[in-house]
A = this chain, B = another copy of it.
Amino acid sequence: MSVAIENFVKAIYKNGKRDNNDTKPGNIAKELGISNAAATDMAKKLATKDLLNYEKYQPLQLTKKGTKMALLVIRKHRLWEALLFKMFDMSLHDIHREAELLEHQTSDFLANKISEYLGNPKFDPHGDPIPNSNGEITTKDTSVQLSNVQEGKSYIISRLMSDDKEFFDFCALNGLKYGNTLVVSKQFSNNKMTQILINNNTIVLNQDFTSIIYVNENH
């Protein structure tokens, strides 16, 4: 299967999770930076390969086979991120960029070697779960978006769900890092803004950021 196909099923999987199953061609096209027409074309093609179900004007739905393909690509991506992060002094954004390419050129055999070397980690450096070699995610995610938390409580950052350099630069600067602790000091105007205390600094985040930072309550 080609890189284009792998990226296509991956985009459907990711957008499905993120945008509450808005997996219509336009949404996927945007994610991939291609035209809507190209997305429709590709959807039809992948339907003939039993990777997804296609019905005109309906959201695209991955089949079992398509989902497995997506998860195996995501597995390779996250394993590469984990490996590069551990071995080299590289930013989250940089490891993402490299993994984005390497993921398509990695045999299952090599992926397993990397996993084994790392001690079969369950999460990558963003806190995203790493699917196993059968394309299954066995960990269950109890984290919530930082936009959805309660004032006054303490939380542990569990996930930074982004590909964006600006965001990661901001995170690096402010101690927003997988595993770190923060306290929510105030929620403003319907959770559009969130004030947190982290590393003895008070910062205010808007929803662009609080919707992609996931946390678990700190008991």
Q: Which residues of A contact B (CB under 8 A)?
A: 84, 87-90, 94, 97-98, 101-102, 104-107, 109-110, 113-114, 117
Contacts and interface: CB of A to CB of B under 8 A. Distances in A.
B109 A94 contact: yes
A113 B88 contact: yes
A111 to B, nearest CB: 10
Copy number in the complex reads 2
A118 to B, nearest CB: 10
Nearest to A89: B113
B117 A107 contact: no
Given A84-B110, A98-B110, A102-B106, 9 more contacts: A84-B113, A88-B110, A88-B114, A90-B113, A97-B107, A98-B106, A101-B105, A102-B102, A105-B105
Contacts of A84: 110, 113
Nearest to A105: B101
Contacts of A106: 98, 101-102
A117 B87 CA distance: 8
A88 B87 CA distance: 14
A107 B102 CA distance: 10
A105 B107 contact: no
Contact of A107 (B98, B104, B107, B109): B98
Contacts of A98: 106-107, 110
A209 to B, nearest CB: 27
Nearest to A90: B113
Contacts of A113: 84, 87-90
Nearest to A116: B88
A100 to B, nearest CB: 9
